[in-house]
Amino acid sequence: MSQEHRESLLEVTNLSVYFHTDRGVVKALDGAELRVGKGEVVGLIGESGSGKTTIARSVLRVLPPAGKVINGNIRFAGKNLLQLSEAQLNDSVRGKGITLIPQDPFNSLNPVFKVGTQIKDIMKWKGSDGEGRNIDEDKIIAMLEQVQIPAPADQLRKFPHQFSGGQRQRLMIAMALLPGPDLVIADEPTTALDVTVEAQILQLMMGLVLERGISVLFITHDLGVASQICKRIVVMYAGQDMEDAPADVIFSQACHPYTRELLESLPNPEGDIRDIPGEVPGLVNPPSGCRFHPRCFRATDRCSSRTPEKTMMGDGHWVRCYHPIRA
């Protein structure tokens, strides 16, 4: 089945999120859109500050107190997440239907408790796996074996600092899979790791999610990493989604000027890196209309007047641009 015809699991539409800060109101997301189909692996890519984590936090409704959803809709498995009560969210969504693999596993584990105690406590709260069975120690050990942690029963008696970065990330993957989620949001899960360990962990994670049919929203600033594992890629810039296409199309036929610049900025075989000209805008007073316009080589007056609607460029290929590149 082609990716774009899959039934939706997660649908984020027209999402705007503001942070109230001493510097002013940070307009972190401006009408952002994103869809993840059932069993689909979607990459959400963008530079630092483009709003990737803010989308993830909005979906799980765990924005920091300064952050407010101003507009938009988030639907997951037929539920309108922005209208559920906290109790309903805890009951069926957070850590259950949707789990998170965070960027920095060290911050997600309490240093003063043994790993086994922490996993058991969290799983007690989660109550059961996806099929309604309790998550007991045997299940935890079996999952640690699946993520290839050696001698798992012994490991449960260790403290977080006794694990390497790669092992901690394997623990995070195990904890994200134990409740039998429908969707895993992986927020830059391997950026803290070296390249060899990163490749091993990504391969392991992808094997486990694909065999279970779990959908993944894979957040990264690394287009290279996204292309290895994602079927579809959504490109974000300064809080707006710019292009959404199958991964191979992003590489061969990207239409959005920003995506083109991003591809140009990938290191070439000689290892040279070319920066995108201009600067990432501040989001207290972001550029009007298409937020890329001050840096865009194709910009016209129209671009700063209004945010472009999405235009369909091909099967499952959408772009938000008044002057998409068609060649």
Ligand X SMILES: Nc1ncnc2c1ncn2[C@@H]1O[C@H](COP(=O)(O)OP(=O)(O)OP(=O)(O)O)[C@@H](O)[C@H]1O
- Among ligand SF4, ligand X, Mg ion, none, what does residue 290 contact (CB within 5–8 Å per kind)? ligand SF4
- Gap between the Cα atoms of 148 and 171, Å rounded: 10
DSSP element (H, E) containing 181: none
Beta carbon nearer to ligand SF4, 79 or 310: 310
Q: Which residues make Cβ contacts (< 8 Å) with residue 226, sequence separation at least 6?
A: 43, 45, 218, 220, 233, 247
- Gap between the Cα atoms of 77 and 63, Å rounded: 21
Least distance (Å) between residue 52 CB and ligand SF4: 19
DSSP-derived secondary structure for 76-133: ETTEEGGGS-HHHHHHHTBTTTEEEE-S-HHHHS-TTS-HHHHHHHHHHHH-B-TTS-
Q: Are strands 232-237 and 24-37 parallel, antiparallel or unpaired?
A: unpaired
Beta carbon nearer to Mg ion, 52 or 94: 52
Tokens 């997440």 correspond to: 81
Asked if 32 contacts 38 with a C-beta cutoff of 8 angstroms, the reply is: no
Least distance (Å) between residue 2 CB and ligand SF4: 26
- Among Mg ion, ligand SF4, ligand X, none, what does residue 318 contact (CB within 5–8 Å per kind)? none
103: tokens are 């960027």
Least distance (Å) between residue 49 CB and Mg ion: 8
Q: Which residues contribute to the site for ligand SF4 (CB under 6 A)?
A: 256-258, 290, 292-293, 296, 298-299, 303, 308, 321-323
* Footprint (CB under 6 A) of ligand X, residues 14-73: 19, 21, 26, 28, 46, 48-54, 64, 66-67
**Exposed (0-12), middle (13-18) or buried (19+): which is 191, by Cβ within 10 Å?**
middle
- Among ligand SF4, ligand X, Mg ion, none, what does residue 323 contact (CB within 5–8 Å per kind)? ligand SF4
Least distance (Å) between residue 256 CB and ligand SF4: 6
Least distance (Å) between residue 109 CB and Mg ion: 19
Q: Binders of ligand X: how many residues, by CB under 6 A?
A: 17
Beta carbon nearer to ligand SF4, 114 or 323: 323
By CB under 6 A, tell whether 185 contacts ligand X: no
Site string for ligand X, 255-294 (x = CB under 6 A): ----------------------------x-----------
Least distance (Å) between residue 99 CB and ligand SF4: 35
Helix locations, 178-238, DSSP H: 195-212, 223-229
DSSP-derived secondary structure for 268-312: -TT----PPSS-PPPSSSPPSSSTTGGG-TT--HHHHHSPPPPEE
- Gap between the Cα atoms of 33 and 320, Å rounded: 11
Beta carbon nearer to Mg ion, 46 or 95: 46
Beta carbon nearer to ligand X, 147 or 250: 250
Beta carbon nearer to ligand SF4, 52 or 295: 295
Between helices 165-177 and 137-146, what is the axis angle to 10°?
120
Beta carbon nearer to Mg ion, 119 or 223: 223
Least distance (Å) between residue 220 CB and ligand X: 8
* Residues at the interface with ligand X (CB under 6 A): 19, 21, 26, 28, 46, 48-54, 64, 66-67, 221, 283
